[in-house]
Amino acid sequence: MPTVPKLVDLALNVLVDHKALEPVLLDVKRVCSFTDYFLICSGTSNRHVAALAEHLEETLRGAGFRPLGMEGVPEGQWALLDYNDLVIHIFLQPLREFYNLEGLWAEASRTWSVSPAPKPAPAAAFPETPAAPPDTD
């Protein structure tokens, strides 16, 4: 019989392996009556969001987990996969920021997350020109 920890672990591994952005696992048992965990992440494009959801569903089904429902996969802006004890949200980044589920469920404990990689400093608009050679008169 598949277990919730196995479901959560497998889902996290699939999303990380397929380059999901900033995955976060929230334990919402204390503050939510319809699920135990939210897994929230982002994709880089509509196609990436849809591909993450499709691959996740296929992999979890192969491990014996069947979703109660899936929404938004073809559109690829916000895919929701409901596994009863785990609800997975895969967003395009602007929608994730707009809906701010992490903020909405701020009372939930964050049990796992991957911080975004630091962004490189922007290149100077006008690179420094080398100093003129000293005058040798």
Residues 72-119 have pLDDT tens digits of 998 989 999 999 999 999 999 999 999 898 888 878 777 765 554 444
What is the CATH number assigned to the segment(s) 4-102?
Answer: 3.30.460.10
Q: Which helix (H) or strand (E) holds 26?
A: strand 21-27
Domain ranges of the chain: 4-102
Asked if 13 and 32 touch (Cβ cutoff 8 Å), the reply is no
For residue 43, is pLDDT > 50? yes
Assess whether pLDDT exceeds 50 at residue 126.
no
What is the DSSP secondary structure assignment for residue 44, as one 8-state letter? Answer: S
Distance CA(77)–CA(46), nearest Å, equals 6
The burial of 35, by beta-carbon neighbours within 10 Å (0-12 exposed, 13-18 middle, 19 or more buried), is given as middle
Residue 41: per-residue pLDDT: 95
**pLDDT at residue 129 greater than cutoff 60:** no
Q: What is the pLDDT of residue 135?
A: 64
